[in-house]
Chains A and B, each alone.
Chain A
């Protein structure tokens, strides 16, 4: 095994030189000759019949090339796909443009194609639509009560699917409990808000029978497969390219109406067509995250040992399923054990159709909900039993020796050491000192809060999911790496080069990583679920290993020694005991090309490909500690300090890991304090622009003190767990627990997110402050 020089090193990103010069190529930066622009007319109503649609005036506008509507496309483009491995799943037909009726405000009703952007938008105003409004189902709990209007008439109710899991004797656990602690929890809908909105460019070359679709996507290969199906083409007639992508966070892990629509328009109009989503469209018609309302109950002994847990939750699906919509709530169920030994668990998920945009994967995708539930209830247990929040957690942690740790949700956590991460975080935060400071400040009428979150998450899918990697040593001695991963900011052009550099002894600058183009990379799954390095990186690693071994075969032939008599170090094969008798890997590459030498059993060419399917998920974990101060006069929450100890197994590039954690933590903070997609009872979006939807800004954010433990994952040879979503999963509960801790003197036991100053102020006004120093 070569000595690691590059893996683990703080390496500047290879991606950056063009991006810092403004030379990135995002979809809207690509312009093709003869290109047309598409604008979409969207329903202003959440639930309505389309009585009449008159696009004549729009069609007549100079510069407009075509206008199309749902009914014309019904038998031309298939309905949008969803994952369907739940037998209770109801799948309403989801057309690319509404046919007959609209089911959410923002659903596409017509598409205009014009010579330029402005004309396309002008034409939208000329389309006249007559709607007849229908009763709106906005609240997911109300959607499932008998008597609620039913959104999709092909079904008898609004239950989209149900998912249940039970293990252990739950009834007995609750009977034996010294205390049962209950809490109702709301996970508000979130808008992912990648700074680049969605964007699609499509071009058809009839002579080559090739449809090329550039899309701001996280899953070019999966998208290609679905587009071929939707447009009734052969898969090899479709090429999908994810150029530079300005953020995804899960919202671009999908197959959207506009992608199929633009493909169809390119095929029929024979000119390239481009659609760039406006931000107001993005908040309406790009998937939302979270959206769960649940009640958790936990049965505990008086020493806080957890005996059992019950969770009943309603997931707000929206009007239609998008690609992974039904897969998200079950992830919550699977991770409800958190970091604790809970022998008996019962989980019931009911998913409700509502007249809103679909929910789907958003950074964490079901796991932030789980971490929030378990970390809130653990704090509530500590509160009710009047025990310390740290002690309660420690009491229920599995020991480091008990891994793989089997949960009552059917999972086996790969590796973990929760005590170590917790201990490190407490030390980093000077926890005891913070508690003393809290007591002192309370006696002076100031409210400091300290919130803990000990989290674990599930990622790097996983069994049934694979990733492709190919490593090619060129005759020039340079290396090209091909990956099915599709990074959009995560830096794999750098981290994969680091992995290959160590395996082949080739300089980083001589390694190029290619991804995001289905014509250049034959297969792949994409970047989501924190898997690019933990799965994609391993495929690349194995491919590099194979290239090294092929090079060894060639070297042994060229040097006329047995392969076993060769030592590989620093990119050189040398004969044992005769160090001068050696060949560099570059020399081998050149020789292999020049002589066409294919000695013995070695296949020609110094390239190898590998498809890696992990045997298990991986389970990153950590402890976050957040310190806040509340001003009861204004409700203002100031985050004074933030500490995070996270464990992602082996670290390839510490700079990239820090970046993922920082970005993730701030998104989790956004959920806790600022964000929330709000629909009113008429299904109207109240948070329809960035003026109302509170994306965190640079001010009011603390410095994040990050530290690590490194517990390798046994799932892959490099021990990588993945880190893309862990920050978001760990942070939200830490912040909420901190605010509630601060308000304990006011008798507050729970507040739903987002924790706005208005909510805090109201609680402080309505409650009597406990006597100074009342709570330990």
Chain B
């Protein structure tokens, strides 16, 4: 079998630049997990159905199992590891903790990133809007109830923070 020609890619992930040589067929999620050791993003299926692999790519939530690493060359990514600022959790993380929005935790990073995109675009989502936004994220443990609570809680917290910073 002929050797596969690797390609050099450069990505900025959680504010840090990484350059690596990868096979063109390498999935972005495998690049994050296996090449860079960022194992917070998880794999739960093989048909882009579960959303456990959701990350932000150039300010858009994508399922990283359905993006090739080479497609993300030059992009800016946010993964679950980049949400907290040192010891300070992101309001979404605090909300999931406060509202018991996770049980086994496996779907959680992807769920939080989908919610992150929602609140970025729609800071005051209704409950149907929240449920629609996480329609691409499967959770088998929670029944989604406390996840919806968590997103509502985070929205309130972020709104009051925004108010405070405007004063």
Q: Which residues of A contact B (CB under 8 A)?
A: 12-13, 15-17, 19-24, 26, 28-29, 31, 61-62, 117-118, 192-197, 244-247, 249, 276, 278-280, 488-491, 655-656, 658-659, 662-667, 689-691, 695-699, 701, 703-704
Contacts and interface: CB of A to CB of B under 8 A. Distances in A.
Contacts, number: 176
A61 B112 CA distance: 41
A489 B108 CA distance: 12
Contact of A690 (B49, B105, B148): B49
A646 to B, nearest CB: 14
Main secondary structure of the interface of A (DSSP, over half): loop
A490 B105 CA distance: 11
B80 A118 contact: no
A22 B80 contact: yes
A246 B100 CA distance: 16
Contact of B97 (A16, A662, A696): A16
B104 A20 contact: no
Contacts of B23: 118
Nearest to A491: B103
Contact of A245 (B26, B30, B104): B104
Given A12-B97, A29-B39, A19 B102 contact: yes
A732 to B, nearest CB: 14
A689 B93 contact: no
A521 B79 CA distance: 35
Interface of B: 1, 23, 25-26, 30, 33-34, 37-47, 49-50, 52, 79-81, 83-84, 89, 93, 96-98, 100, 102-109, 112, 128, 130-132, 134-135, 137-148
Contacts of B84: 21
Given A15-B105, A16-B96, A699-B131, A662 B50 contact: no
A488 B142 contact: no
Contact of B106 (A13, A21, A26, A249): A26
A423 to B, nearest CB: 25
A690 B50 contact: yes
Given A22-B79, A279-B45, A690 B96 contact: no
Contacts of B106: 24, 26, 194-196, 246-247
Contacts of A197: 44
11 contacts: A13-B97, A21-B83, A21-B93, A22-B41, A246-B106, A247-B141, A249-B140, A278-B46, A279-B50, A663-B103, A690-B49
Nearest to B95: A20
B159 to A, nearest CB: 20
Interface centre among A20, A29, A117, A664 (most CB of B within 10 A): A20
A191 to B, nearest CB: 11
Given A279-B46, A690-B138, A698-B134, A20 B100 contact: no
A280 B46 contact: yes
Most chain A CB within 10 A, of B106, B140, B146, is at B140
A664 B144 CA distance: 11
Given A246-B44, A703-B145, 7 more contacts: A21-B93, A23-B40, A24-B105, A193-B140, A690-B138, A698-B139, A699-B135
Contacts of A701: 131, 143-144
A196 B142 contact: no
Nearest to A654: B100
A669 to B, nearest CB: 8
Contact of B44 (A196, A280, A662): A196
Contacts of B112: 20
Contacts of A691: 47, 49
Contacts of B1: 61-62
Contacts of B33: 28-29
Nearest to B84: A21
B49 A689 contact: yes
Contact of A695 (B30, B42, B134, B138): B138
B44 A244 contact: no
Contacts of A491: 103
B40 A662 contact: no
B131 A698 contact: yes
Given A195-B50, A662-B142, A690-B49, A698 B44 contact: no
